[in-house]
Amino acid sequence: MFNYLKTAVLMAGIVALFMAIGAVVGGRQGMIIAFAIATAMNFFSYWFSDTMVLKMYNAREVDETAAPQFYNMVRDLAGRAGLPMPRVYLIDEEAPNAFATGRNPEHAAVAATTGILRILSANEMRGVMSHELAHVLHRDILISTISATMAGAISMLANFAVMFGGRDSEGRPANPFAGILVMLLAPLAASLIQMAISRSREFEADRGGAELSGDPKALASALDKIHRYAQGIPLLPAEQHPETAQMMIMNPLSGGGLRGLFSTHPATEDRVSRLMEMARTGSYPA
| Cα 166 to Cα 246: distance, rounded to the nearest angstrom | 32
Residue 261 is classified by DSSP as: G
> How many C-beta atoms surround the C-beta of residue 184 within 10 A?
11
Angle at CA of residue 234, ends 233 and 240, nearest 5°? 105
Q: Is 124 a catalytic residue?
A: no
Amino acid letter for position 10:
L
C-alpha 274 chain-centroid distance:
19
Of 132, 170, 239, 243, catalytic: 132
Are 64 and 72 in contact, with CB atoms under 8 Å apart? yes
Helices marked H in 26-139 — which ranges? 27-56, 68-81, 114-119, 122-137
Mind telling me the catalytic residues?
132
